[in-house]
Amino acid sequence: MSDEITIKRKNPRKGDDGFKIVSVRMRDELIERLDELSAQSNRSRNELINMLLEAAIKIVKIED
């Protein structure tokens, strides 16, 4: 009989990788523009949205 119990580390489940799924409504024109940028940059729409949001959130200013 063994003196230890071995438990294999479980792979993280989807969503446990630091990312969350968010649903957003967008105008057709905006999606078309994102798709154009996606084709030009060879990046996914999702990757572009994340890049653009990260850049925008750094420069946003809230006014009273």
Specify the CATH number for the domain of residue 31: 1.10.1220
Domain count, the chain: 1
Let me know if residue 10 belongs to a domain.
no
Let me know if residue 23 belongs to a domain.
yes
Each residue of 9-52: pLDDT tens digit?
A: 777 676 677 888 899 999 999 999 999 999 999 999 999 999 99
- Answer whether 0.85 is exceeded by the pTM: no
At residue 4, the pLDDT reads 80
Let me know if residue 38 belongs to a domain.
yes
Q: Note the Cα 5 to chain centre separation in Å.
A: 37
Q: Which domain holds residue 54?
A: 16-64
At residue 15, the pLDDT reads 60
Q: Which two tokens stand for residue 37?
A: 């940028």
Let me know if residue 44 belongs to a domain.
yes
Could you give the CA distance from residue 51 to residue 38 in angstroms, rounded to a whole number? 12
Could you give the CA distance from residue 57 to residue 60 in angstroms, rounded to a whole number? 5
Please report the beta strands in the chain, taking only residues with DSSP state E, as ranges in sequence order: none
Q: pLDDT band at 7, cuts 50/70/90? A: confident
Q: Which two tokens stand for residue 7?
A: 């438990």
